[in-house]
Amino acid sequence: MIEEASTTIITTDRVNKMDRMVDLHTHILPGVDDGARDTAETLEMARQAAGRQIRVVAATPHFLGMEWDQIKAETEKLRKLLADHQIDLMVTAGAELLIDPALIDLAKEEIPTYNDAGRYCLIEFPMLELPPYAEQVFFSLQVKGITPIIAHPERNREVIADPNLAAHWIESGCLIQINANSLLGSFGPQVQRVSEIMLKHHMAHFIASDAHSAGRRGFHLGCSVEKAQRLIAPEIAAKLVSTNPARVIAGEPVEVPEVIRYRQQRRFWNFGKQRRDD
Ligand SMILES: [Fe+2]
């Protein structure tokens, strides 16, 4: 049975005990963005998540044109919907912010943070470029005590060209979320390769579904973690969908391992050995 709907902070303890996954990035709220179109699709997504060993999802709609209070109210409605349908899935409020200089001027309370804890937010770049004001926006959030979690940077063209950009953001206090579908190859071989590089070089702190439906862009966390467990230590891969996201929702510090710089492979045709370090 689902636990009583609550607006209180979900503690790490409470989440970890359940030994099921925590998904930090979903578009499960009905009719607010390009995710679930209506409550029927939301319910289909929720049943899929619950059936695939996901215990907690953060509802992270695109923040464009929405107010944080509205997202929190919609999330509360979703909790009631899930309880009415006896779907065993906890849901907490969040949002996916598109990086924008206007964020600098928002008061802390206006900025959507996970579980309204004022500690972490999810922020994405446009797909092609890295805006010149990105660092300023990150810094302004950090000054307010909010740690930016960068959503799926492996899909950005400039990060594909230079994965060490992620190392730089981590060293300046950001965290990184990669998409389950990136690791599984749904966005093509380049995105898949960069997501693998990021995993192996300690440049990924979370794997999340970024689910938009119960179909191709559904909850593919389980397969993705299995894939990650073949690339890095299985217990570290497991943390990316359990301990780490649970800590975010609880507003607690996430353990950040030292980043390993990615060194591009070079081909020296006159020398027999080719260095492989990705
Ligand atoms: Fe998203």
pLDDT (0 to 100) of residue 39: 98
pLDDT (0 to 100) of residue 9: 44
Please tell me the distance from the alpha carbon of residue 240 to that of residue 56, in angstroms, as a whole number.
14
Per the document, the length of the chain is 278
What's the CA-to-centroid distance between 96 and ligand 1, angstroms?
6
Please tell me the distance from the alpha carbon of residue 167 to that of residue 199, in angstroms, as a whole number.
12
What's the CA-to-centroid distance between 276 and ligand 1, angstroms?
33
DSSP annotation of 7: -
What's the CA-to-centroid distance between 81 and ligand 1, angstroms?
22
What's the CA-to-centroid distance between 265 and ligand 1, angstroms?
31
What's the CA-to-centroid distance between 23 and ligand 1, angstroms?
12
Q: Is there a contact between 196 and 170 (Cβ–Cβ < 8 Å)?
A: no
Q: Where are the alpha helices (DSSP H) in the chain?
A: 12-16, 39-51, 68-84, 134-143, 157-161, 164-171, 180-183, 189-200, 221-231, 234-239, 243-250
What's the CA-to-centroid distance between 268 and ligand 1, angstroms?
40
12 phi/psi in degrees, rounded to 5: -55, -40
pLDDT (0 to 100) of residue 65: 84
pTM of the model: 0.90
Q: Select from 100, 96, 102 the least CA-distant residue to 120.
A: 96
What's the CA-to-centroid distance between 62 and ligand 1, angstroms?
7
Domains defined along the chain, listed by start: 14-250 (3.20.20.140)
What's the CA-to-centroid distance between 93 and ligand 1, angstroms?
14
Q: Is there a contact between 278 and 196 (Cβ–Cβ < 8 Å)?
A: yes
Q: Is there a contact between 247 and 12 (Cβ–Cβ < 8 Å)?
A: yes
pLDDT (0 to 100) of residue 264: 79
Q: Under DSSP, is residue 8 helix (H, G, I), strand (E, B) or coil?
A: coil
Q: Which residues pair with 57 in a beta bridge?
A: 23, 91
What's the CA-to-centroid distance between 123 and ligand 1, angstroms?
9
What's the CA-to-centroid distance between 175 and ligand 1, angstroms?
16
What's the CA-to-centroid distance between 214 and ligand 1, angstroms?
14
What's the CA-to-centroid distance between 181 and ligand 1, angstroms?
12
What's the CA-to-centroid distance between 35 and ligand 1, angstroms?
9
What's the CA-to-centroid distance between 59 and ligand 1, angstroms?
10
pLDDT (0 to 100) of residue 72: 97
What's the CA-to-centroid distance between 269 and ligand 1, angstroms?
42
What's the CA-to-centroid distance between 4 and ligand 1, angstroms?
27
Q: Select from 46, 54, 25 the least CA-distant residue to 207.
A: 25
**Exposed, middle or buried: residue 229 (CB in 10 Å: 0-12, 13-18, 19+)?**
middle
Q: What is the mean pLDDT of each run of 10 residues along the chain (278 residues)?
A: 38 51 98 97 98 97 93 98 98 98 96 98 93 97 98 96 97 98 97 98 98 95 95 96 97 97 71 47
pLDDT (0 to 100) of residue 269: 53
pLDDT (0 to 100) of residue 266: 62
If you search the block for the tokens 């299995």, which residue do you land on?
226
What's the CA-to-centroid distance between 26 and ligand 1, angstroms?
6
Listed residues: CB within 5 A of ion ligand 1: 96, 210
What's the CA-to-centroid distance between 267 and ligand 1, angstroms?
37
